[in-house]
Structure 1
Amino acid sequence: MEDSDGNILFNVKGVAFSVIHHRRILYDAAGTPIVTIQRKVKSAHDRWQVFRGDSKETSDLIFSVKRSSLFQLKLKLDVILANNTKEDFCDFKLIGGWLERSFAVYAGESSTAVAQMNKTHTGHAFFRKETKNVVVNPNIDYAFIIALIVTLDAIQSSAGTPVAG
């Protein structure tokens, strides 16, 4: 993942047998693991967990992402921070659509978008290139937003259906 000047900011790698384990690691430009994203094995709402570094320890959990409901026409994901143990509310919500190719991250249940992502495609057939344009509001950790986008892509890959357009 690059910034607007083409500088590499992040790199995502799947772990060996990641198709089975549904695990991805997000690295910074220097190659240091920032977060590990892994699907929770037994989960009714397709829950994914995000851990600090390349850990899978419960004590290193940063946040989890799950579908707001089992059946959805428009994608809605709840983001729950690790310290929200009761899960009475979601800390952030990711809402988007397959057809619109755009997604927004909202603070809790509010209508305040803290980040937006749009996908564009250029080229034709076999030479098609996908670009994700991400705008992050001030005072929002952009690594957190990138981790959400990688989780969204992981959910898409595991479902075998297009989540992000």
Structure 2
Amino acid sequence: MQTQQSYFPFQSQSQPQPQNLAGPNIRTVAVVGQQFCAPYPIELTVQKKVISFSGGDFNVLDSNGNLFLSVDGRVLSLRDKRILRDQQGNLLLTMKKKLLSLHETWEAYRGEGTKQENLIFTAGKSTLFQLRTSLNVYLGNNCHSDFKVKGSFFERSCTIYQGRTVIAEMRRKYTVSQVLMGRDTFTVTVYPGVDYAFIVALVVILDEINKETREREAVAAA
């Protein structure tokens, strides 16, 4: 059986430990931008806003509670859209649901608008019917997946891979107050050298895809 790779050959664990990954020769995984790649592990909290007309508004905080990124939903657009912004409110990505897609696919474009030349990546279910969440992520117009998201939102966690290498992990937090207020919160560990803006975008897309799945199941059960 093949074992899972990590960035550093001296690690023997099957699951790399983020706190031990900092080092002088970090391989960079930049998708949104090099400026979002830190040479050390980053712990983020992705928190859904309590008051959100679209249901897709998030604040992304660092371990000290400082705002890192934010996500805005667009409820009046013809297509479902999510906008990723930096600390200063500058627009980084426009994420939209792809129409007429069997595998629940989302596309992410640089800046505002959805021109094909600005397409950065596409993420969608690897198969139509799944017991466990599995997304394929394609950079640009690539035909073969460059990244994978594996796990299950309903099991409170997922892992993001580049090949067989773990580059980020997400855990969903449950507290009584969060459940009562409908305030979903996720903790995200981004490994050294990995684009945290890209990882946040994948977490948001995963949330959207799973929300659509839950809504369909609720309608079918009614």
- TM category (shorter chain) comes to 0.7 to 0.9
**Aligned mate of 1:120, from 127, 152, 173:** 173
Q: How does 1:26-37 map to 2 (within 5 A)?
A: 26-37=84-95
> In structure 1, what is the Cα distance between the partners aligned to 2:139 and 2:181?
39
> In structure 2, what is the Cα distance between the partners aligned to 1:127 and 1:83?
40
Aligned twin of 1:131: 185
Q: Does 1:60 align with 2:60?
A: no
Given residue 51 of structure 1, which amino acid in structure 2 is its aligned partner? Y
- 1:76-119 CA deviation, whole Å, 9 max, x = no partner? 000000052xx1x21000011133200100113x2x21100001
- 1:111-139 CA deviation, whole Å, 9 max, x = no partner? x2110000111125524653211111111
Q: Which runs of 5+ in 2 are unaligned?
A: 1-59, 217-222
> In structure 1, what is the Cα distance between the partners aligned to 2:123 and 2:183?
27
Q: Does 1:45 align with 2:99?
A: no
SS in 1 for 2:67: coil
Stretch deviating more after TM superposition (118-127 or 144-153):
118-127
> In structure 1, what is the Cα distance between the partners aligned to 2:181 and 2:161?
34
Stretch deviating more after TM superposition (4-13 or 124-133):
124-133
> In structure 2, what is the Cα distance between the partners aligned to 1:53 and 1:2?
21
Aligned twin of 1:75: 133
TM superposition score normalised by structure 2 = 0.65
After superposition, the Cα gap between the structure-2 partners of 1:40 and 1:83, relative to the gap in structure 1 and judged at 3 Å, is closer
SS in 2 for 1:104: strand
> In structure 1, what is the Cα distance between the partners aligned to 2:114 and 2:182?
35
**Aligned mate of 2:202, from 143, 148, 154:** 148
Q: Does 1:2 align with 2:56?
A: no
Stretch deviating more after TM superposition (127-136 or 146-155):
127-136
Q: Which runs of 5+ in 1 are unaligned?
A: none
- 1:1-30 CA deviation, whole Å, 9 max, x = no partner? 100100001111111425x51111011111
Q: Does 1:102 align with 2:157?
A: yes
Greater gyration radius: 2
**How high is the sequence identity, in percent, across the aligned residues?**
38
**Aligned mate of 1:22, from 63, 66, 80:** 80
Q: With a CA cutoff of 8 Å and minimum separation of 6, indicate the structure with the bigger relative contact order.
A: 2
After superposition, the Cα gap between the structure-2 partners of 1:151 and 1:98, relative to the gap in structure 1 and judged at 3 Å, is closer
Contact map agreement 2:153 2:210 (CA 8 A) in 1: no
Contact map agreement 1:51 1:62 (CA 8 A) in 2: yes
Contact map agreement 2:153 2:172 (CA 8 A) in 1: no
SS in 2 for 1:157: helix
Contact map agreement 1:97 1:103 (CA 8 A) in 2: yes
* Aligned length in residues: 156
